[in-house]
Amino acid sequence: MDKHHAAQGASKGRRKALKGLIGLPFIGGIAAGAYAEVRKKQQEKDQILRELNIEAERPDIASDMSGDPVRIGIVGNGGRGQHLVRVLGFATPAWVQAMQEQGNTGALEAYQSQENLNVKLTGVCDVFEVNAELAQSASPDCKRYRHYEELVNSPDIDAVVIATPDHWHAPVAIAALQAGKHVYVEKPMTHKIAETYALREAARSSKAVFQVGHQHRQTQSFITAQDIIRKRILGHVSLVQANTNRNSDNGAWQYHIHEKASPQTIDWDLFLGNAPRIPFNKEHFFRWRKWWAYGSGLSGDLMTHDYDRVNCILDMGMPRFVTASGGIYTHRDGRDVPDVFQAVMEYPDFTTGSSREAGLEKGMTFVYSATLGNQHWRETLLMGHDGTLELGNQLRVHADPNSTRYQHLIESGVMDPSVPIYAYDPASGNADGVTSATSKYFAQKGLLWTYRGGKRVDSAMLHLREWLGAIRNGTPVSCGIDEGFEEAMSAHMAGLSWKLGRRMEWDAATEQMIAQPGEDLDAVLLSPGRAIAGMMG
């Protein structure tokens, strides 16, 4: 091998190596690029999450369910009552059979895997024979009481769950508290103004535990939302909107009329109670939500959910002014409660904190809007100077493009006001700062977050569990008499504003609704019609 050949060989070798290894620099470049890209996104996300510092979980309140079983009586074992009794652990054989026939294994499995709350169902009072027998079929210990007074005074009952029509909530709750029994009462807490004060007095002067059935207070996302407000993520919230949209017979309270209903199977006089005396009427019995005499329409029946949803997050309490409008526009079937309803609540002194100069921001309006003639989904929104919270089972926070607090993050490109800066889903247990357009898209469709790991738990069960924990261990309840008072009174103000056609005002000093001289607001609230000339319903 001469020198020339050797040089040629070395040159060929180098060329071969160059040709062979052509891809290597690309791999280095791609790896560096991918690393830099992911790192940048992660840093932006970390910066956002650090800035927000939202705590997604709450500490577990130890609630020991051991000891003697709590003996429970159910007053009003209709649709809602049966649900509450079931989450307490007493499904009827008829329900189990119906779920099996429908192939609803999910509901059956959820029921079977439910936590044992260590309670006995020892009593039922229902004016309809069929409902009373249903409770008895779910529990061998369950005795039927013909009158609620007998049930609440029975030595076999420690605690009472009340799921009657609205006009019976307060009378039964007051009687139970006076008998020293713990009370769990469905919403709205009361049907009238006077009994709201009376029930508050009864709860305050009793050692028994009192809880109103706003089970969403157990919803993890609402507890997270409380932290969002505490950390002033939204800045000063000036407007809150919540909505009800339904478009079905069931949603408009056109419930099934039981074939066994008759004056022989229903104690009609006891059902009427303090309502106007009218002859036996199956429709009034099963579809009581359609009349002011027993129910409270959209303001008491559904707005109370939204009011308390927001009150449990903002703790804004009683509104100063309430104005309502609406009418019977979608179900002109003889009902006297509105089926389209808007209420505007004013809180001129309320603030969630401000990121701007002192004194500039104060006051908030809560707008509730409902129709029973359209079911298009409308988000619940809490709108602040620095951000907007979409409130549901999932949470999403968008920074406001003109936010003061996030100005530097928006200008530096870390925050994009068009995508959520925070998204939370209790089902996945993950909190995440969402920074990409596709993540946003999937987040909006609810596809990224599914139930995994943990099982689904009924929030009414958790709410009852909290009540039982308070009975056993003295731990606090989340929807006690003060929260119930605010919920009931604000609903009554909205109902009255609709009926009277004028703005209702709350006097915080005397804790009273301001009435005209000689005006009996309770009589107006219960009356079937409206006092506005030319308006029907």
Partner 1 sequence: MTYSKPQLFFLTALRLFAGWHFLFEGFIKFLTPGWTAQGYLLSAQGPFAPFFQWLGSDALIGISDTLTAVALSAVGLTLILGIWEKAGAFIGIAMLAFFYLAHPSWPGIPAAGPSEGNYFIVNKNLVELAALGVLAWFPTGHLLGLGVFFNPQNQVQHG
Give residues in contact with partner 1 (CB under 8 A). Answer: 1-2, 5, 9, 12-13, 16, 19-24, 26-27, 30-31, 33-35, 37-38, 41-42, 430, 432, 437-438, 441-442, 445, 447-448, 450, 452
Which is closer to partner 1, CB of 10 or CB of 536? 10
Please, which residue, 31 or 94, has the CB nearer to partner 1?
31
Burial classification of residue 501, based on how many CB atoms lie within 10 Å of its CB (0-12 exposed, 13-18 middle, 19 or more buried): middle
Q: From the CB of 439, what's the least distance to partner 1, in Å?
A: 8
Please provide residue 500's backbone torsions phi and psi, each rounded to the nearest 5 degrees. Answer: -90, -15
Could you tell me which of 399, 332, 400, 320 has the C-alpha nearest to residue 363? 320
Single out the residue of 112, 114, 118, 115 nearest to residue 72, CA to CA.
118
Nearest 5 degrees, angle CA 188-CA 129-CA 88? 55
CB of 36 to partner 1, least distance (A): 10
User: H or E element: which one contains 430?
Assistant: strand 430-432
From CA 532, how far away is CA 537, in angstroms rounded?
10
Shortest distance, CB of residue 82 to partner 1, whole angstroms? 32
- Cβ 57 to partner 1 shortest distance, Å: 17
Nearest to 436 by CA among 412, 420, 460, 454: 420
Biggest alpha carbon–alpha carbon distance for the chain: 125
CB closer to partner 1, 35 vs 106: 35
CB of 396 to partner 1, least distance (A): 15
Taking the complex as a whole, how short is the minimal distance between the CB of residue 188 and partner 1, in angstroms? 39
Residue 54 or 121: which CB sits closer to partner 1? 54
Burial class, 217, CB count within 10 angstroms (exposed 0-12 / middle 13-18 / buried 19+): buried
- In angstroms, what is the minimal distance from the CB of 19 to partner 1? 5
Q: Which C-beta is closer to partner 1: that of 9 or that of 263?
A: 9
What span, in angstroms and rounded, lies between the C-alpha atoms of 54 and 422?
A: 9
113 versus 473: smaller Cβ distance to partner 1:
113
Torsion of CA 530, 532, 535, 537, to 10 degrees: 0
- Which residue, 22 or 523, has its beta carbon nearer to partner 1? 22
Shortest distance, position 428 Cβ to partner 1, whole Å: 10
Question: Which candidate, 246, 254, 328, places its Cα nearest to that of 499?
Answer: 328
Among 168, 92, 89, 87, smallest CA distance to 131 is for 92
| Nearer Cβ to partner 1 (42/105) | 42
